[in-house]
Structure 1
Amino acid sequence: MINFELYKVFYLTARSGSLSKAAKELYITQPSVSHSIKLLEEGLGLQLFARTSRGVELTKEGGVLYTYIEQAFNFISLAEQKMEELRSNTSGEIQIGGSDSLCKHYLLPFLESFHREFPGIGINLVHGTTPEIVRSLKEGKIDIGIVRLPVTDEQLHVREGITIRDCFVAGPKYRELAERDVSLEELLNYPIILFSRNSSSRRFITKQFLEQGLVLEPEIELGSVDLLIEFAKIGFGVSFVTREFVAKELEEESLFEVKLKAPLPSTRVGIITLKSVPLSAAAAEFIKKLEGGSGAEGAAANPA
């Protein structure tokens, strides 16, 4: 086992790209940093850094090592944070990952309620697609992930949250689609607007079309649910969204739900955590709120 301190020197040097900056952060001399890196390279039998005019940069082998060491330091920092949170449930921070739409339309009422009850606990939100959230969880960058199910991974503990229903919506230009039953095949005759390819909602609707032998090719791809809503409103086409997230627009009739001959199956929101990492008291309390549906008043907590 190589001395852990050598990995610490390696990590800080790689992160800063500078021997002098690492030395300053470690409160040691620059020659000491160089010596530690040399010892680590000799122990591993690989060159980890290459000198440049601006400092040092990782070699290919050093880059591979860094991906693992970075995760280790993330978990160490997380462990220290959890110890502080276990000592006192009045401070600390919860790292939560989820998509923009889930954060805005589902999480917000719970965050408001939790903040009122525990004002000393900070909340940091990390946005991303389901694969990105799962990766962040495994790398120790977040405590809790909020994703669309299904998610199958033996390393994860998956709790089921609310049921959500997806639908196609259109603005006044295509209002006639809300006044008669439309098949998925017929819907392909209209411009379709979808979320990015790596999103779980995109995979879900693509699967529904494939099961009927249909290939879904959108005319427009967007990276934001808010843009999906706005593009449908002004007549660019028919957007695929979560119904609970456009309840206001449907009520105001700035959007109309497309009437499908065969309703789409509902899906659920999932609350994911790592099985191998104990939750802090604060994170456990937040999950309890999610499971109990005890967020602030609003349709996101109890969708119609």
Structure 2
Amino acid sequence: MEWVPDLRQLRALVAVAEEGSFTLAAKKLFVTQSAVSHSLRTLEEQLNCRLLDRSGKKVAVTSEGELLLHRCKRVLHELDQATCDLDGLRRWGQTRIRVGAPHSLCHFIIPSVLREFRDCFPRCEPHIEAGDTDALLDRLSKGELDLVVGLKPKNHGNDGYRPMFSDRLAFVISPFHPWAAKEDQMVETLGEQQFIIYSKATETHRLIESWLSKIGGRIKAPLVLGDMQAIKEMAKLGTGVGLVASWVAAKEIADGTLRAVEIPGPEMNRDWGVFHSSQREPSLVEEAFIGLCEMAFENMPR
């Protein structure tokens, strides 16, 4: 006979396993102890196996019980999440969403995403926090953020990650810089350049540092700035050579106030995406935000 699971039995099994006691499990579920005991004995009879060891002072889960318990927790979590999602759908976004993103995306991507998001979920309150991707991912793992839009760290797996966009860093220079006329002189004259790079403690900075270390002591100490616009303005004036993604300087490259020069080597490739908790599926509101991010990245200059 096919077993049809009873949610009361599953919740009783999880509660007893977590509390180690029928009495405490009953209090947690707001039912009588006999109701919990009856539910679990019926469950064991239906499955024809012993799920709990009742011989000691504290109730223990058997190996068969552990196997079922693992599945039960996943089923109950999904049901609870579905209840939350349906409630949010009924109230049409009357909730909040906490998103982390690096400063560059807060300038170029997040504003357009927020505009569309607010049109779809006018009663949802978005909280945006700018910072380094690694620090934001740490906050995501602690449950302090719901989503992070940013660069994928080199050693990060694909659990809880949605790939969106790939780019590579480039040199941006004044149109009067010698490289603008003779790019083939770039490698020979690297040591003469004043590089201008983005602030420390960011994934982009670590990428640049790795590339600079490979060309050794042939270069000057880079000028470190915390604002992409400042890097572009200084490059325009010929103060130095900026290291940014081409899309960051797309407007200036289009109007001719900056030129982009490709950096040799594969080290400057970057992957962008949206991170969510690997412990659960994104809610309906979070999925909507992720979808809007995907649309925004598709419109990025390449």
Structure 1 residue 166, shift from structure 2 partner: 1.3
Q: Which has the larger radius of gyration?
A: 2
Distance 1:217 1:122, change over 3 A: farther
Contact 1:106–1:300 under 8 Å retained in 2: no
The residue aligned with 2:178 is 176
Q: 1:222 aligns with which of 225, 246, 250?
A: 225
Tell me if the contact between 1:184 and 1:209 (Cα under 8 Å) persists in the aligned partners: no
After TM superposition, the structure 1 = structure 2 runs for residues 1-304 of structure 1, keeping only pairs within 5 Å, are 85=88, 88-153=91-156, 157-172=160-175, 174-181=176-183, 182-184=185-187, 186-213=189-216, 218-258=221-261, 260=263, 265-291=268-294, 293=295, 295=296, 301-304=299-302
Letter in 2 for 1:179: A
Per-residue CA distance 1:161-219 (angstroms, 9 max, x = gap):
112231111224x5221222244562231111111221111111222333455676543
Helix, strand or coil at the partner of 2:192 = coil
- Give the 3-state SS of the residue equivalent to 1:188 in structure 2: helix
Distance 2:204 2:150 in 1: 10
- The CA deviation at 1:301 is 2.6
TM-score normalised over the length of structure 1: 0.63
Gaps of 5+ in 2: 1-17, 19-80
Amino acid of the structure 1 residue aligned with 2:123: G
Q: CA deviation at 1:230?
A: 1.9
* 3-state DSSP of counterpart to 1:235: coil
**2:150 match: secondary structure:** strand
Normalised TM-score (structure 2)? 0.63
User: Which secondary structure does the structure 1 equivalent of 2:149 belong to?
Assistant: strand
Distance 1:237 1:300 in 2: 31
Mapped to 2, the partners of 1:177 and 1:263 lie a distance apart of 20
Assess, with a 3 A threshold, how the Cα gap between structure 1 residues 203 and 122 changes in structure 2: closer, same or farther: same
Hey, what's the Cα distance between the residues in 2 that align with 1:186 and 1:133?
Answer: 38
How many Å separate the matches in 1 of 2:273 and 2:191? Answer: 30
Cα gap change, 1:86 to 1:136, in 2 (>3 Å): farther
Q: Among all aligned residue pairs of Structure 1 and Structure 2, give the percentage whose two residues are the same amino acid.
A: 23
User: 5+ residue gaps in structure 1?
Assistant: 2-78
Equivalent pairs counted in the alignment come to 219
Question: Residues 185 and 214 of structure 1 are in contact (CA less than 8 Å); yes or no, is this contact kept in structure 2?
Answer: no
Give the C-alpha shift of residue 260 in structure 1.
Answer: 4.6
Bigger shift: 259-268 or 270-279? 259-268
Q: Over the residues paired in the alignment, what is the CA RMSD in angstroms?
A: 2.9
Q: CA deviation at 1:117?
A: 2.2
SS at match of 1:288: helix
Q: In the TM superposition, what is the alpha-carbon distance from 1:88 to its structure 2 partner?
A: 2.7
Dislocated runs of 4+, deviation >6 Å: none
Aligned-partner residue type, residue 126 of structure 1: E
Closer, same or farther: CA 110–225 of 1 in aligned 2, 3 Å: same
